[in-house]
Structure 1
């Protein structure tokens, strides 16, 4: 699973479903079966979480010769109705619910249809029926790498602030915030040992309350930049796209095309969206989780319960230039040409070189340090806290060192 590479989103996004109760199917009559996916409010087009879920489902549909049926929720009131509509048809190998907010709805409908297999991304409940696979990710581990990268870039440039812009204040996002803070504290310690200098880097944070409002993301990032944030991690889906705009404008104001300041992307390898602005992305492989659920359902190995994917399983990670280029190479030739034109490049080599130049703004020793942290997390030598409530995240916020934070992970 570690060797899976994300798909390049733009150009591969097929149909958008725009209304509750509107079902799309790209299948043909000769298909051998069907799967269904229910999107949360906000849905497709966020270039991260929901789109990654679609890509995993569409790849599975192609690989296993299945129809893919998509259903969009316009509000929380649609969850139960959408899931029940699909379950009542009795024809899906698995019905996938995308997002923590659908946990209660899945629990209810799965109880009503015990013979139907369900999977939910980011949702869990100890009393969930045994026909539900709960796919979770160790966002805290991947975010620790993002925090280490941000903290070391700031420390190396003599800066003392980094930022994180988040979406809705829900438990899963506490894991992102906690991991990021852990990584920043680890970076302080690493830098002190390397350079013999004490550094104290503040983490500016804001929950915007939305996953689909780029203007809110931009405003939040602008506020953090004005306070001195040197790197900003976006954890807000479509809202986070505004973070990229804010950092790009800050660079243009300095007549710069490449950071720092930098942004860090999330969920998919978002580096390509604004080359020069985004230094890396914390990839959350929702596509891998969705594909796993379909594969297990089709092959008869599906089991209810929690499946958790972290650094070791390839479920999270920090994007590389090779990741981005592998995504690009998966596109049809005509789509590649159009995307290069949109991004202002004459060839794929130019795009690759630009991404490499962007990363070249950060010294090699920083990338090596982040890899060291990754290896220690994978080996179990270092454990990253994963709070799931306000009390837990507040303890992380108050911790003075990464060692203190690690105590909270026990």
Structure 2
């Protein structure tokens, strides 16, 4: 039943957002526009409730704001990456072609070299030898994840618990940044808690890479195992797989006759709190929409430059969701979908949903939210530098570090 619900949720969002135009699985819409942009999704694609859907939101907003036609292509397998990019590039009439996901790095590098006059942007992809017509949009996931780790650890410590969890998708470099940042935040929180209460705490981080971004059942199994081991907050970094994490936490609460946590889940990429109100305390928003929108805006205005564009806390590229963020995400759904979702969740209005989300956050003491804001400010002003892990050796070093100060030195 849980798996069916997960698939329903994914399908619901996939149906709720309507493309401006699409090919390969849909009909291209002819409109009186000033130009065209294209977006190529990774395997899994739209409907993941996070990464790919955020990319769509950014592209669709840019298409509306600049009167552009948006064309979408879905990659069904990794073999489709190059084919999809070439299909678009050879047409020669796109202001920019956007590839969504680290896995398309090699394909973008190859096709961009073959079509030097076509502008490309890739989300999360980096190669030092990337052609000059490619904008590589990266995010400081380590910074946003540090806030998630601090929040998780302080909630656990406040409840007398000593474990938090993180469930991830494929074991790739970008996810090491999430994991490393989360661990940093946990260690920082241990230090903060001791200073505030005078009590020593040691919070263990349980982690599992599921190997997939579109299998809610695997996310559920991983989260249930962590809950069984005592994890009090679980951060999901697994795209559509993460819906299973939400299901596991929600099931735990139901079995203990609780409507709200703790324990809690933490969402990722988009403001996912609305998916399971009461079970999700916040989401680490990775503003893929901001990155996509920026690439289109620069192309439209003639300011497009190849190279790296990196967005962190300071640039608004990452951060913990607010209730207003969640409602903005919910309001982006078509009106009939909003009504359907409210009915499913048992709310009579959006105001009721908003109040419920606010009440969920009140389950966490104000001093914890203040502590997380304190960490955010210190990261933004440069007082604290959250390390980045790009490979197995670097994430192993972070896992083995005993303090956040030791971790910070690893990033110097």
Q: TM-score, normalised by structure 2?
A: 0.94
Q: 1:36 to 1:220 in 2, by over 3 A?
A: same
Say which is worse superposed, 346-355 or 108-117, in terms of deviation: 346-355
How does 1:95-114 map onto structure 2 within 5 Å?
A: 95-114=97-116
Contact 1:264–1:279 (Cα < 8 Å) also in 2: yes
1:9 and 1:288 map into 2 onto residues whose CA distance is: 20
Residues 20-78 of structure 1 deviation map (CA, whole Å, 9 limit, x = unaligned): x7164664331221111111111111000001101111111111111111111111111
Residue 205 of structure 1: aligned partner: 207
Q: How far apart are 1:248 and its partner, in Å? A: 0.6
Confirm or deny: 8 A CA contact 1:25 1:69 kept in the other structure: no
Q: Tell me the equivalent position of 1:310.
A: 312
9 and 324 in structure 1: CA distance in 2 versus 1, 3 angstrom threshold: farther
Q: Point out 4+ residue stretches in structure 1 off by more than 4 angstroms.
A: 8-12, 15-18, 23-26, 329-335
Provide the aligned length of Structure 1 versus Structure 2. Answer: 401
Q: CA 1:16/1:297 → structure 2, altered by over 3 Å: closer, same or farther?
A: closer
Q: CA RMSD in A?
A: 1.8
Distance, in Å, in 2 between the alignment partners of 1:364 and 1:160 is 21
SS of residue in 2 equivalent to 1:56: helix
| 1:288–1:256 Cα change, 3 Å | same
SS at match of 2:188: helix
3-state SS, counterpart of residue 305 of structure 2: coil
Q: Do 1:25 and 1:70's aligned partners in 2 also have CA atoms closer than 8 Å?
A: no
Find the aligned partners of 2:104 and 2:335 in 1 and give their Cα distance. 38
Indicate conservation of the 8 Å contact 1:143/1:179, yes or no: yes
Q: Give CA-to-partner distance per residue, 1:201-259, whole Å, 9 cap, x none.
A: 00000000000000000000000000000000000000011000000111111011110
What is the distance in 2 between the residues matched to 1:152 and 1:359?
Answer: 14
Alpha-carbon shift at residue 332 of structure 1 (Å): 5.3
Name stretches of at least 5 consecutive residues in structure 2 with no aligned partner.
1-11
1:17–1:72 contact (8 Å) kept in structure 2: no
- Per-residue CA deviations over 1:292-314 (Å, capped at 9, x if unaligned) read 10111111000000000000000
Match of 1:14 in 2: 18
1-structure distance, mates of 2:172, 2:129? 20
**Deviations along 1:162-198, whole A, 9 cap, x unmatched?**
0000000000000000000000000000000000000
CA distance in 2, matches of 1:41, 1:351: 32
Aligned partners of 1:23 and 1:70 also within 8 Å: no
Contact 2:139/2:311 (CA < 8 Å) preserved in 1? yes
Whole-Å separation in 2 of the counterparts to 1:138 and 1:25: 36
Partner of 1:285: 287
Gaps of 5+ in 1: 1-7
Tell me the alpha carbon deviations over residues 106-142 of structure 1, each in whole angstroms, 9 at most, x when there is no partner.
0000000000000000001110000000000000000
Report if aligned partners of 1:247, 1:263 keep a CA contact under 8 Å in 2.
yes
Q: Secondary structure at the match of 1:93?
A: coil
Deviation, structure 1 residue 337: 3.0
Shift of 1:9: 6.3
Q: Distance in 1 between matches of 2:134 and 2:342?
A: 42
- Cα distance per residue 1:82-116 (max 9 Å; x no partner): 10111000010000000000001000000000000
Q: 395, 401, 404: which one pairs with 1:402?
A: 404
| Structure 1 counterpart of 2:391, from 389, 392, 396 | 389
Which position in structure 2 is the counterpart of 1:51? 53
| Deviation of the 1:15 alpha carbon | 4.9
**Residues 16 and 44, structure 1, Cα contact 8 Å, conserved in 2:** no
Identify if the C-alpha distance between structure 1 residues 318 and 11 changes in structure 2 by more than 3 Å, giving closer, same or farther.
farther
Give the Cα–Cα distance (whole angstroms) in 2 for the partners of residues 16 and 274 of structure 1. Answer: 29
In the alignment, the residues of structure 1 paired with residue 25 and residue 71 of structure 2 have an alpha-carbon distance, to the nearest angstrom, of 6
CA distance in structure 2 between the aligned counterparts of 1:11 and 1:380, rounded to whole angstroms: 42
Structure 1 residue 138 corresponds to structure 2 residue 140: yes
Q: Which moved more, 1:333-342 or 1:104-113?
A: 333-342
The answer for the alignment partner of 1:263 in structure 2 is: 265
Q: CA deviation at 1:338?
A: 2.9
Q: What is the TM-score normalised by the length of structure 1?
A: 0.95
Distance in 2 between the 1:163 and 1:171 partners?
A: 19
Cα offset, 1:13, TM superposition: 1.6
Asked if 2 retains the 8 angstrom alpha-carbon contact of 1:167 and 1:209, the reply is: yes
